[in-house]
Structure 1
Amino acid sequence: MAVLQQILGIELIPLTEPLTRRKEALAAAAYFATFSYGGYLGALFGVYLLFTRFWWLTLVYICWVYLDRKTCENGGRTSDWIQKWSWWRHLRNYFPTRTVLVPGFKLNPNKNFLFCCFPHGVIPCAPFSSLLCPGNILQKLYPELRMKIAGLDMYFRLPISREIGLGKGGISCSVKSLTHVLAKPEGGHGVILYPGGAAEAMYARPGQYRLVLKDRKGFVKLALKTGASLVPVFTFGEVDLFDQVQNPLICRFQLFVKKLFRFTVALPLGSGFFQTSFGLIPRRKPLFIVVGQPIDVARVENPTQKEIDELHQKFIKQLVNLFDTYKYDYLVNPEAKILELE
């Protein structure tokens, strides 16, 4: 095996690896494929069906998507059946993930919460597999808390990704959608949001913690208008799951797509089923999700720019403090790791 690795120049996975770990790798591969390319493949399959005797299936599904188009903006449609898939357990164990609550962490059950997660990574894995999956630490401590995860509206227009995304608790990241959940007067609702978005995904490189946050104030304004508490969440290891192809022409193309469609086309370099040197599976790296103390926010119907700026600075200060405090526990050579804000 060692000789073969030297000849090929790659690191092979032993054939004796337990079946459990193979299942975990398959779960990670399926997660990346589904939420990166699944919707497009499903759309192409629908076009193919139009030229077969099953053409009517595509038309029926198009009608269903049209009639169901506003579900992602009206609180979503979580499926207990999809939530209980063993897929999610294997995904969580693949890395594995560990959720850490800061000392004194406490949620007010009468409030709603906006969990603002950083960094985004090439494709977010940690909070999805830890804070949203059944049996997570927040669910055990606060079983009444109903969690959602916000994504681009585009994902809820494409087959496969929309049905699984909605079933897993997905909602649109539009202001209307987030307000619908976070303004509920009874409280007990939480939304996972990645404020850095596609711009931050382009910066994802192993060991590089570069956040798009300085001019991202929309989530702060939303928290003020709804009275939802802001919860800073930082994941150590998220940026280590993939590297990215670095080429000036590719970067320009990615920027063009991002400007036009608000998302980016990722060309990741991860792991494979039989070797770890390249592939589209996230690398098997431990993920540590640190959940900070909620920042209580008083509801302001029409917040001023000063109020938005003050809360934004308070959030940044707490997020930076999370990184500076916990990097010594979860990063190699922590003194050399800095948090870059753009």
Structure 2
Amino acid sequence: MGLRKDIWRTGILEAPLATLIETPDWSQIPCHFLPDMPRAFQFRADPFGVWHEDRLHIFLEIYDYRDRIGAIELFVYDRAYTLLRNEVVLREPWHLSYPQVIQAEGTYWMLPEAHRSGTQTLYRAERFPDRWVPEATIDLGGEIAVDATLHFQDGLWWLIYTPVEAAKKAPSRLHVAYASTLHGPWTRHRQNPIRIDPSSARAGGTPVMIDGRLMLPVQDCSHTYGGAIRPLWFDELTKERITTRTGAALPIASTYAPYDEGMHTLSAVGAVTLFDIKRTELSPHGLVIEAGREVRKLRRRLGLS
């Protein structure tokens, strides 16, 4: 049970992702932070978004250290960044996070991180934005993906991910699979792992095309989990060959203090970008929360609650 806890904060930056990549100081970029959590040792992180009917729909992880089971929460804003709607839209018995949402085949899809379920499930919006149903299982030949990220290019769907065993030890291997449709079948790239590097081998946001090249935000976990975001450039992305190179870690504005100890998601939504940044909570209260959680787990196993 750790004394130190990462607490994340999520915001909306009024600049496209391509601009942020080239901007050394974000302090002058207008930023709108989502509401603070009501209790200590809770956070919101991993934001992804889409514009729908002139409204910004943000999907993200909501997490409480008391139960350690993340769910997917929705925020809806108008163009003036007035909050119109907020609710949890997807909850499972296992932890959910990193809810990438895409539009394809005439509907919306969500691929949340859910490795504790033992698989990766693609959800379809039965009613956007608040009703999501399991549609397909992404079969990677026995591999379970962490922070799997979809991208469509050259007539193929590409899935960029870290295998769960690499993520548990150190997020140091990046893999790729491809398919002609979202429903598969999926083929793991023969060049896997395409990167072996803790500073750039775990996806951290939406892939975007910039000046004709694919750029994927990736997490720099070389010193700590979610320490920074780097741009990972794909110079080649074909069935036969993948070549990549990474850029420098992106800055965290000093004006964001005390949330200046890390960043691990950067998501493009047209003219705005979603991001999360963290501070570290160092308090004996964290140990009390952990102890309470363990007691509740024991009571459930003994049939006392």
TM over 0.5: no
Whose strand fraction is larger, Structure 1's or Structure 2's? 2
| TM-score of the aligned structures, taking structure 2 as reference length | 0.25
Structure number having the greater helix percentage:
1
TM-score normalised by length of structure 1: 0.23
